Amino acid sequence: MAIGRPRAFDADKALDEAMEVFWRHGYEGATIAELTAAMGINAPSLYAAFGSKEGLLKAALDRYSGKRAAFMQHVLDAPTAREVARRLLFGTADLQTDPANPPGCLLVQGGLACATGHENVPSELASRRADNEELLRERFKKAKADGDLPATADPTGLARYLSAQTAGMGVLAASGADRRALRQVATLAMKAFDSASGA
């Protein structure tokens, strides 16, 4: 059984470049021409490997999640709920201003609103943001069960609040806010967490 001509590009490397283009220009602002140029391949290769522009986005989102998985695990592994919040907020401030990446968060920059007919792009991004929020919520439920958080604590509300912080920081970063500014927001956001968790 013949195997065929081997692929001449590294799919993960190409996805990194595609991710960066979507991150910087959003789904609709990223053109196939720009994507193929950044990925170092041409259109037929892109479509053979990823099916469509939307398929490429989903693959890039998967890769994004994968790259952030270690960070999220580090956050969730924190010994206390407070430390979870602290790691998330300050880690996010640093990640969203990492000069190695476009500013902000792909799940926000990628596209909050899209053209008629592309509704599932914003909803896909929203769904992935919700996944992160859910991880935090479960972590806080556990903290509550463990007595780390008081019985009056609201895991859903805390998780949603932190979700709003990371999204808000993403918007600030997109506007050019620097690391110091985002850390300052994180510092203030921690105060709310402390009040709400009875610290």
Partner DNA sequence: TCCAATTTGTAATGTTCGCTACAAATGTGG
Partner DNA sequence: CCACATTTGTAGCGAACATTACAAATTGGA
In the chain, the amino acid numbered 39 is M
Count of CB atoms within 10 A of residue 164's CB? 12
**Would you count residue 129 as binding a second copy (CB under 8 A)?**
yes
User: Scanning the structure block, which residue is given the tokens 């929020």?
Assistant: 133
Q: What is the rounded CA–CA span in Å between residue 190 and residue 148?
A: 16
**Would you count residue 42 as binding DNA (CB under 7 A)?**
yes
Q: What is the rounded CA–CA span in Å between residue 122 and residue 128?
A: 10
Q: Which is nearer to a second copy, 78 or 130 (CB)?
A: 130
Q: Which of 1, 70, 100, 151 binds DNA (CB under 7 A)?
A: 1
Site string for DNA, 63-102 (x = CB under 7 A): ----------------------------------------
Least distance from C-beta 175 to DNA, angstroms? 24
Stretch in the footprint of DNA (CB under 7 A) among 5-13, 122-130, 137-145, 161-169: 5-13
User: 149: phi > 0 → left, psi -120 to 50 → alpha, else beta; which?
Assistant: beta
Torsion of CA 145, 151, 155, 161, to 10 degrees: -150
Stretch in the footprint of a second copy (CB under 8 A) among 3-11, 41-49, 69-77, 113-121: 113-121
Size of the site for a second copy (CB under 8 A): 55
**Would you count residue 170 as binding a second copy (CB under 8 A)?**
yes
Task: Please state, in angstroms and as integers, the Cα–Cα distance from residue 124 to each residue in 57, 99, 160, 177, following that order.
Answer: 10, 26, 18, 26
Question: Which chain residues interact with DNA by CB under 7 A?
Answer: 1-9, 30-33, 41-49, 52-54, 115
